[in-house]
Amino acid sequence: MSELTGTTEGPADPTPATVHAGAPDQEPLPLPLDTTAALVGEYRWIETTLYRVLGEWAADMPLAAVTVHLDAQSMRHAWHADLWADRLPVRSGVDPDALTVPSAPTAALFAALAGELLPSDLPGSSWPPADEGYGRPGALPRLAGLYRVLLPRLVTTYERHLGATAAAADGPVARALRLVLNDEIEDWRAGERLVEHLVTRPHDVAAVYEFLERLESAVVGAGAGSGLVNLPVSVPGG
């Protein structure tokens, strides 16, 4: 996002790989199986929820072009969810659905996007504020929240995870990350163009940025760092 104006200018370059053990010129060590399982499970939850949410939004958008746009992206998120389901590690006695859960920042962001508040049990958390629930946000603020907060943070998460993968051990996950990243960046850019086209009045600008501040307060207050899903590895921006 632009430091001066706060507008989204486009996806940043992918974060380069960084070693979290060993010499600086070595590739990353393989992530522990439990770590990979937790990350992939949360990605599956995010993509499944985006499929459902965007499908619901498509049904109540006032413009037919927006409905078509959201419906197409909803189906793409459904494919991403299936892709992550296939990448969940197979472990005896572990139910894949038990791994398909959101972390606190993810849950807080999706709740705020729907106009709800979730309490944070993070020590010292500033979220939620003293206000009560805000109610369902309008169509334009929701779209702006999706394309200026949620997807940019999700792209950052995927890029950071890709930078922490080891070629030999994490090949299937890395391939999935590349496939999903290509789609997410394309959707982010298309969504940003849509939001810019729909913001036509000063009132629109005010409504959008009030909602974006609310979303960022929710996700940061719930403990998010760089991106949406906190990666338990040493990579830039963590």
Query: How many angstroms separate the CA atoms of 144 and 118, rounded?
Result: 21
Domain boundaries of the chain, sorted by first residue: 33-116+126-221
Phi-psi region of 230 (alpha: psi -120 to 50; beta: other; left: phi over 0): beta
CATH number of 33-116+126-221: 1.20.1260
Length, in residues, of the chain: 238
Locus of tokens 């920042």: 105
| Nearest-10 crossing angle of helices 151-163, 33-60 | 160
Q: Is the pTM of this model over 0.85?
A: no
Q: What is the rounded CA–CA span in Å between residue 174 and residue 178?
A: 6
Residue 64 class from Cβ within 10 Å (0-12 exposed, 13-18 middle, 19+ buried)?
A: exposed
Q: How confident is the prediction along the chain (238 residues), in pLDDT tens digits per residue? A: 333 333 444 444 433 333 343 344 566 677 888 899 999 999 999 999 999 999 999 998 889 999 999 999 999 999 999 999 999 977 666 788 889 999 999 999 999 999 886 655 545 544 445 444 557 789 999 999 999 999 999 999 999 999 999 887 889 999 999 999 999 999 999 999 999 999 999 999 999 999 999 999 999 999 999 999 998 755 544 4
